């Protein structure tokens, strides 16, 4: 069994129009939501074995909040260019290359890829995974390259504005 945690980056800032898309930082709400969601996850699940992120600033900033809460170092974050606005195929490719020794993986990615991939993988119908939303998926396999071909089940789906409704 493997567990995949898909995390959409927290809310980003559009304040500086001169920044390239990949360089946009988190805004005030994003800086608040990322550590809050990390705390919620830490209460629910053990530390993932591997953390992988799109190289965009907003995904890395979101990931750092999770790393901090789990007591990990920034050096523990793996960056994958294919995850920058990656689609389902890009995510599947990155996941398929993960070390089979890892039982769980947390990916920090973008929309619409995260929503499309979570729906496709777990056979669910989530309209939109909001910023800093987390979808946890259980995978009935011992091999990451089998993801997408093995049974999968949505374990939970949390997002910042829905936290008060879920507890």
Q: E strand or H helix at 65, and its extent?
A: helix 57-69
Q: Which pLDDT value is given to residue 18?
A: 82
Domains of the chain: 2-166 (3.40.50.1240)
Residue count of the chain, please give it: 167
pLDDT at 164: 58
Average pLDDT along the chain, 167 residues, taken 10 residues at a time: 97 86 93 95 96 97 98 97 93 97 98 95 94 97 96 95 61
Q: Is the Cβ–Cβ distance between 109 and 120 less than 8 Å?
A: no
Q: Is 63 helix (H, G, I), strand (E, B) or coil?
A: helix
The owner of tokens 């070390």 is 99
Q: What is the pLDDT of residue 47?
A: 97
pLDDT at residue 161, as a whole number: 84
Residue with tokens 């567990």: 3
Quote the pLDDT of residue 111: 95
Rounded to a whole number, what is the largest CA-CA distance in the chain? 45
Q: According to the model, what pLDDT value does residue 118 have?
A: 96
């Amino acid at each position: 069994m493997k567990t995949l945690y898909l995390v959409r980056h927290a809310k980003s800032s559009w304040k500086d129009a001169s920044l390239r898309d990949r360089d946009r930082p988190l805004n005030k709400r994003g800086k608040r939501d990322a550590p809050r969601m990390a705390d919620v996850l830490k209460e629910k699940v053990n530390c993932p074995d591997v953390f992988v992120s799109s190289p965009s600033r907003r995904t890395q900033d979101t990931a750092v909040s999770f790393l901090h809460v789990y007591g990990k170092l920034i050096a523990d974050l793996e960056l994958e260019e294919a995850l920058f606005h990656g689609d389902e195929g890009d995510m599947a490719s990155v996941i398929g290359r993960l070390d089979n020794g890892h039982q769980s993986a947390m990916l920090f990615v973008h929309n619409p890829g995260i929503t499309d991939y979570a729906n496709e993988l777990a056979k669910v119908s989530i309209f939109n995974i909001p910023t800093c939303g987390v979808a946890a998926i259980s995978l009935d396999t011992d091999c990451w390259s089998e993801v997408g071909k093995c049974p999968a089940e949505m374990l939970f789906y949390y997002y910042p504005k829905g936290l008060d409704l879920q507890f």
